[in-house]
Structure 1
Amino acid sequence: MGNGKEGRLLVLYGSQTFTAQEIAERIWRKTKVLGFRGPVQAMDDYPISRLIHEEFALFVCATTGQGDEPDNMRRFWKFLLRKNLPNNSLMKLKFGVVGLGDSTYSKFNFVGKKLHKRLLQLGATPLLNIALCDYQHDLGHDAVLMPWLGNFFSTLKSYFPNIQTDTMNNSFVPRWKVSLVKTDSCDNQKNVSEDVYYGKGCRDHFLDSTYLELEKNDRTTDESHFQDVRHIIFKTVDGNPLQYSPGDIFNIRPRNSKEDVDDLFGIFETHNIDIKPYHLLSVEEYHDDMPVPDFLKQPLTLYEVAEQYWDLKAYPTQYFFSLLALISEDKLERDKCIELSSPEGQEDWLNYCRRPRRTVLEVLHDFHKSASKLTIEVLFELLSTIKPRSFSIAGSCLKSEGRRIELLIVVVKYYSKLKKARLGLASNWLKNLNVGDRVYGWIKRGTMKFPQDASIPLILIGPGTGLAPFRNLLQERSIQGTASSDTLHLFFGCRYKNKDFHCRQELEGMVDSGELTLYCAFSRDQENKIYVQHKIAENKDVLWNLLNRGGYIFISGNAKNMPDNVRDAFIEDVISEAGGISLEDAKKMLEDMERNNRLQVETW
């Protein structure tokens, strides 16, 4: 069927937070090395009527919410579901599907699985079975993605005999033609604190961003408490009301700290690399199948790009080291990069990067000889883009008449084996915003869907900042006059009653007015630790009665252990012990509830 030089491989992605897009562009680079051509596009940007003419395609798609497709895949998916499509519509197509998911959710990689099945129904032929990537794996998505891609391209070899799959990573192929307009003036550095992603008119085609002003940024935890939790309120600037419901999400794109940006330019200065903050960026199309994104077509300084485009807090992937090896001229460092990027070097990569949370900047300091070969073109391949962060809206739209957004955010700061504190990019940026600062953000439909019928009992489990979506719901029900302690049951957990009991006065006030039944687990206020699952076990008879009345269960909070512990408590204590049902049947009952959306989970 020819060779790689004549091959077309279409790469389409459905992305919620741009991860799928980033992975699709990585795959494009691999295909380019092999000599393929073919565009990389969001599924909704691709003229789907052309799909019947494609011979080879690779789909990368994320799963969102309760098994929903991403926004920029919806039109594509809706078209594929049309009943009038013949079952041989895609008989010419040979394909692969990469699913990006999170195994803490019951509908793990649901979208990828649905897409794979539908393509089969329309007559397409899979080159491989679907890749089910799991964000929770120690190696992240790459644990499944990297070996799967190797097999995918090996399979393609039967159609394109000239493919040399063992030389895939031996060439550096930039996505765009990137250069600098170098001036002697520092005037271009003015106004760098303004939002350039949205402020200069750039829009992601599936996002409707809103201009907001910070009204409140208060610490809610006691000063002696180890954790800084922020109650943040944004207000609309134009006065136009926003529309959102309990469970909905506020998305925002954070920026790097001045310290990290200065560190990056310090690396350039140390190695006499002529890249200055005030140099202007020029990005042009290199390949007709890799268009320049709108944002990079804007007139930008390098400081703006470093502050608002590159993620300087990211930890480098194995892919990062494979690229660094291509530019390194130091044998020792190059060999180490090759080792850290190899399947055999995964454990070393975990110990060096993932477990201590070493950032890209720290790696560039460690691999200083390789860093001395950095160019602006290389930087655009090495550094990933800042991805939007999602936060549950913690206040009712009715309370502010849609003119405010409330958030409840943990400021991420912890220590690994490295001496310097690990700081979360978004939370620390938000912490340091001042009243009056203006930012762009956008609202998205949340994963949780609360029943409209206020007579249905709701069991809400929200330890820590998992309280956020439930506070939104409780406020709304209170304003509507439908809040009742008979139907609203909230399990809240924290360490200390007097240090990190978020919104205590408000919640206790609802209890006093008969609007809420509240169960609190303060884990460190006594010798034996008490968590929300223990409170669930203590109140198993009450909860079994609520479930028999058609009650729903909602779980919100940290994904590490809490969701599984809560599930176990419902299976073993509530359904089996209080309900007198066998453990096997109790587990099946909870699974059925989750399948029917009577159990919903939102974790991070």
Structure 2
Amino acid sequence: MNGIFRQRWHATAAAAATLLTLTALIVVIGTGRPVEPEVRRIVAGALVAACYVLFCFWVAARHRGAAAPVPLPWAPDALLVAYASQTGFAEQIARRSARALEAAGVPVCLASLGELGGPALQRFRKALFVVSTTGEGDVPDSAARFARKTLSGNLPLPNLTYGVLALGDSSYREYCAFGKLLAAWLHRQGAEPMFDTLCVDDGDAGALRHWQHYLSVLGASVEMEDWAPPSYQAWTLTGRRLLNPGSPGGPAYHVCLSPASGSKAEWMAGDIAEVGPRNDPMAVEAFLRELGMDGGQKVASSQEGEQPLREALADRLLPHDAAGLAALRGLPADRLVDALPAIPHREYSIASLPSDGSLELLVRQVRYPDGRLGLGSGWLTGHAELGASIAVRLRSNGGFHPPPPSRPLILIGNGTGMAGLRAHLKARVAAGAGRNWLLFGERTPGADFFFRDEIEAWRAGGLLTRVDLAFSREPGWPRYVQDCLRGAEPELAAWVEQGAAIYVCGSLQGMAAGVGAELERILGRDRLDELAEQGRYRRDVY
């Protein structure tokens, strides 16, 4: 007899016993005859017993409901968003994450870890975990059973890829301990991380925006509103150069920004620039014409005071479909502005150091299916004129800061990930650290070898010990950057034994997983995990 049938049989039996007792009582009372005391005592005893039986079954049912995992309906290809929350903040972030993915058509299964039995994880191919740590490294109460029964054992998860958002407070000694414990357990079960565990210190807004960035990589709309808008500073666009004319890939630009006059900005290799894009002025004018509105009329703004409507719309998400436009027709100017959300930020790896005198980015132009330029890349590479003011916020990315100069460094990346690799190479050159190995992949050697002159000069000067290149569209070369690792196994293992760190920067889809698989094949999973724990295997992927 299976569990569900047994529970139903017991409940039916209890209900039947109670019903028979009540029926007997009704029959006895309904005769209208005097009831003998002995009969009255028997019926009353039966009623008490029946009520007790019902109470016991009610308590047991509640206990089973609390202890047993809740069955979760999901689509076969659903992405699991699981949370463990003590105060409700982790649940709030998980629900926001699920809504952002669902709004873009990604099937999602949202669940508390307390609702999941360990075997349920085996049914998913992708999962995101949003988990908090309470007290000094404690598991949230709602996930205590999951941690006790699942994390203490083994559960093969070779087909799962995952990401972990760990919420915590760095004033505690065991900062984000549960999130780190969960990530380590997942990896030991054979699951593959899509990106490094992201720790959020006391609700840090920058880390939450970085999580939103990962959501967009997984399919959420890149136009979802920032949960915590950055506090931007004004920078000036001082340079822009196309790096890959004739490339079969999208145009990639070297963009230079300078801080406002008299101000000084500091950052480190590995840090991130959050840019606040603005609309193409021509797109704003076309939008106003569609609505039959005058862009010169003044509207009130809490930050800018009164300004022309066209200026107020410069940093607002404009609809590009008939339904969106129809919903806005007839609104007065101030309500129109309020009805449109702000354009969310865009993140870019910084390709320079403060000593270079400017903030340098490597930006790939993105186009929507209808041919429009992407908001961030379009603003930086096309719409903004030289000398224009660019809204920028610098964000520290401690998980990708440089290793000590004495440590050898292996840098692996592709595409615009060269930005992060270049900043690290510049830091190494400035520190006189010459034990560096670069592995880089793009499309063609003629058009897509970004910053080629610098790299060849560093190699000629002895500051780059080895350079391995892959070009996917060029016969005779390794196709992808991970292919460069094949055949380099002995030297890679030797560098690692000599204390080298491995830094990976570039695309999450394809490259990061491919590189990770090759490193695991060469070094072994345990050794790679050990390097990650020591901070010697770090990734900035997007």
TM-score (norm 2): 0.58
Shift of 1:135: 4.6
Structure 2 unmatched runs, 5+: 1-86, 104-162, 175-191, 205-213
Check conservation: 1:103, 1:134, Cα contact below 8 A: no
- 5 Å-filtered alignment, 1:240-251, equals 240-251=263-274
- 1:103 touches 1:136 (CA, 8 Å); kept in 2? no
Kindly state the Cα deviation for residue 559 of structure 1 after the two structures are TM-superposed: 1.6
Instruction: Please tell me the residue identity of whatever aligns with 1:281.
Output: V
- Does structure 1 residue 602 correspond to structure 2 residue 540? yes
CA–CA separation in structure 2 for the residues paired with 1:505 and 1:311 = 39
* Partner amino acid, structure 2, of 1:464: G
1:387 aligns with 2:405: no
Taking a change above 3 Å as real, the CA distance of residues 264 and 113 of structure 1, as seen in their structure-2 partners, is same
Structure 2 counterpart of 1:299, which letter?
E
Task: Give the one of 100, 107, 112 matched to 2:197.
Answer: 107
Letter in 2 for 1:298: G
Describe the shift of the 1:385–1:440 C-alpha distance in structure 2 as closer, same or farther (beyond 3 A): closer
The residue that corresponds to 2:299 in the other structure is 281
Structure-2 residue corresponding to 1:510: 458
Conserved? CA contact 1:225–1:500, under 8 Å:
no
Distance 1:113 1:445, change over 3 A: closer
Q: Secondary structure at the match of 1:281?
A: strand
Q: What SS does the aligned partner of 1:497 have?
A: coil
2: CA distance, partners of 1:466 / 1:137: 18
Find the counterpart in structure 2 of residue 311 from structure 1: 317
Structural mapping, 1:56-95, within 5 Å: 77=169, 81=172
Deviation at 1:454, TM superposition (A): 1.5
Matching residue within 457, 477, 480 for 2:408: 457
Q: Contact 1:393–1:407 (CA<8 Å) still a contact in 2?
A: yes
Indicate if the aligned counterparts of 2:247 and 2:443 stay in contact, CA closer than 8 A.
no
> Do structure 1's residue 231 and structure 2's residue 251 form an aligned pair?
no
Q: Give secondary structure in 1 for the equivalent of 2:490.
A: helix
SS at match of 1:462: strand
Distance 1:534 1:504 in 2: 20
Shift of 1:305: 2.2
Alignment equivalent of 1:302, drawn from 301, 309, 320: 309
Instruction: State the distance in 2 between where 1:512 and 1:457 align.
Output: 18
Is the aligned partner of 1:425 residue 2:515?
no
* 1: CA distance, partners of 2:392 / 2:286: 27
Instruction: Evaluate the alpha carbon distance shift between residue 217 and residue 134 of structure 1 in structure 2; reply closer, same or farther with a 3 A threshold.
Output: closer
Aligned to 1:5: none
Question: Match of 2:314, SS?
Answer: helix
- The answer as to whether partners of 1:466 and 1:556 remain within 8 angstroms in 2 is yes
Which structure has the greater CA radius of gyration? 2
Q: Supply the distance in 1 between the matched residues of 2:328 and 2:230 (Cα, whole angstroms).
A: 36
2: CA distance, partners of 1:15 / 1:500: 42
Distance change in 2, residues 1:267/1:466 (3 Å)? same
Identify which of 362, 367, 370 aligns with 1:408: 362
Is 1:477–2:428 an aligned residue pair? yes
Q: Which residue of 2 aligns with 1:260?
A: 283
Question: 2:401 & 2:519 partners in 1: Cα distance?
Answer: 20
How far did 1:549 drift?
2.1
What letter corresponds to residue 276 of structure 1 in structure 2?
A: D
For residue 218 of structure 1, give the secondary structure of its aligned residue in structure 2: strand
> How far does the alpha carbon of each residue in 1:486-534 deviate from its partner, in whole angstroms, 9 at most, with x for none?
x211111111111111000110111111111211111111078611110
Deviation at residue 282 of structure 1 after TM alignment: 4.3
Q: What amino acid is aligned across from residue 496 of structure 1 in structure 2?
A: T
Looking at structure 1, the residues matched to 193 and 268 of structure 2 have their Cα atoms a distance apart, in angstroms, of 26
Q: Give the Cα–Cα distance (whole angstroms) in 2 for the partners of residues 278 and 138 of structure 1.
A: 38
Question: Equivalents in 2 of 1:11, 1:301: separation in Å?
Answer: 42
Which residue does 1:540 correspond to in 2? 489
CA distance in 1, matches of 2:309, 2:328: 18
Structure 1 residue 212 displacement after superposition = 2.7
Match of 2:449 in 1: 501
Cα 1:471–1:66 shift into 2, 3 Å: farther
Q: Deviations over 1:368-419 (max 9, x none)?
A: 655546566875675331122221111122x42xx311111111136x3xxx
Structure 2 counterpart SS, 1:535 = helix
Question: 8 Å contact 2:438–2:468 — kept in the other structure?
Answer: yes
The AA in structure 1 aligned to 2:506 is G
- Aligned residue identity for 1:260: A
Does structure 1 conserve the Cα–Cα contact (< 8 Å) formed by 2:238 and 2:387?
yes
Quote the Cα distance in structure 2 between the aligned partners of 1:113 and 1:439: 29
Q: Distance in 2 between matches of 1:442 and 1:367?
A: 31
Q: Deviations over 1:129-152 (max 9, x none)?
A: xxxx9555445699xx9xxxxxxx
| Structure 1 equivalent of residue 514 of structure 2 | 565
C-alpha separation in 1, matches of 2:195 and 2:492: 23
1:15 shift after superposition = 12
Deviation at 1:554, TM superposition (A): 1.2
Alignment match of 1:444 (pick from 381, 395, 405): 395
In structure 2, how many angstroms separate the alpha carbons of the residues matched to 1:66 and 1:238?
40
CA separation of 1:230 and 1:262: change in aligned 2, threshold 3 A:
same
How far apart are the structure 2 equivalents of 1:384 and 1:311?
6
Distance 1:524 1:377 in 2: 51
Task: State which of 437, 440, 445 in structure 2 corresponds to 1:489.
Answer: 437
Q: Please point out which of 449, 459, 466 is paired with 2:417.
A: 466
Residues 258, 114 of structure 1: CA spacing in aligned structure 2 closer, same or farther, 3 A cutoff?
closer
Of the three residues 581, 585, 593, the one matched with 2:531 is: 593
Using the TM superposition, give the Cα deviation of residue 438 of structure 1 relative to its aligned residue in structure 2, in angstroms.
3.1
Counterparts of 2:253 and 2:393, CA distance in 1: 20
Relative CO higher for 1 or 2, CA cutoff 8 Å, sep ≥ 6?
1
Q: Are the counterparts in 2 of residues 211 and 237 from structure 1 also a CA contact under 8 Å? A: yes
Counterparts of 1:188-227 in structure 2 under 5 Å?
A: 207=231, 209-223=232-246, 225-227=248-250
CA contact (8 A) 2:297 2:309 kept: yes
Alpha carbons of 1:253 and 1:68: their partners in 2 closer, same or farther (altered >3 Å)? farther
Aligned CA RMSD, in angstroms, stands at: 4.0
Q: Which amino acid aligns with 1:280?
A: K
What displacement does 1:113 show? 12
